[in-house]
Amino acid sequence: MRTPFEYAVIRLVPRVERGELINVGVLLYCQQRDFLGARTHLDAARARALAPDVDLEAVATVLGSWGRTCGGDGPASRMSLGERFRWLAAPRSTMIQAGPVHTGLTADPGAELDRLMTSLVG
C-alpha cells in the first residue's frame, strides 16, 4: 500500500546574496510509516565552481547534522518526527537550506529517498 510522503531538496547556496545553488541532499518524511531521513552528497568541484572560497569542511559538518537531527540526536530528541521535518524544512537564509516541500506516494520511504537522491542530486 502506498502512503503519502513529503520531501524537500537540501541545497547549498554558498553566497546567499547571489542566489546560486546546487542540490546536495534530500529530506523525506512519511508520517504513516514513522519515517524521517536525510541523504546528502557534497560535490566539491561543483561547490568550488560557485564559490572557490567555500569552506567544504564546514559545509560537510552541517550536512551531517541533518541526518543526526532526523535520528533525534541532541535537542531533536524532544521533538516528534513531524516537528523535526518542519524545523529542517523551514525557510532560512543560510548556506544550507531546504527547498520547497513537495509530496508524493510511496510504498517504501527509504527506497523513495534513495530514488530522489539519484534523480535530484546524483
Q: In tens digits, what is the pLDDT along the chain, a chain of 122 residues?
A: 999 999 999 999 998 888 899 999 999 999 999 999 999 999 999 999 999 999 999 999 999 999 999 999 999 999 999 999 999 999 988 899 999 999 999 999 999 999 999 999 98
**What pTM was estimated for this model as a whole?**
0.94
State the pLDDT at residue 47: 95
Domain count, the chain: 1
Strand-pair partners of 38 = 27
Q: Residue by residue, what is the 3-state secondary structure of 15-64? A: CCCCCCCEEEEEEEEEHHHCEEEEEECCCHHHHHHHCCCCCHHHHHHHHH
**What is the domain range of residue 45?**
3-120
Kind plus residue range of the DSSP H or E element containing 105: strand 102-106
State the pLDDT at residue 119: 98
State the pLDDT at residue 5: 98
